[in-house]
Amino acid sequence: MLIDFNQKEEITIPGMNNGTGTMTAKMYMGDQGKVIPCSIHPGGSIGLHKHETSDDINYVLSGKGKAICDGQEEILFVGTCHICKKGSVHSIVNTGDEDLVFLTIVVEC
């Protein structure tokens, strides 16, 4: 299967999961999960939320930030990957002055 994100509409999401600022994303959603290239803009965050039915894999392409997963803080930068396992609670924050760009893969389990 080929997913052409050039053909996907980019959406703007203010305060994702009661976070701050805005993020933009293009989404593919299927029965077994999601593929989401996205950007959290400077000053923005994805609020603390729980993954009830899926693992959430976030690979950083540019920018810097931090993830908070089950109370543990992880520093994010280019080439790092934050994984939030099913049942965990996490948040992602852009701590830099440019977009935090990452690819999210959500695997339903």
Which amino acid is located at 54 in the chain? Answer: S
Query: What average pLDDT score do residues 47-58 get?
Result: 96
pLDDT for residue 59: 98
- The tokens 């830099």 sit on which residue? 96
Say what percent of the chain tops pLDDT 90: 100
Tokens of 42: 């400077």
Residues 6+ apart with CB under 8 A from 17: 46, 47, 48, 49, 91
The alpha carbon of 25 is separated from its chain's Cα centroid by a whole number of angstroms, namely 9
CATH dotted code for 12-108: 2.60.120.10
Tokens of 40: 């959290």
Q: Give tens-digit pLDDT for 20-31.
A: 999 999 999 999
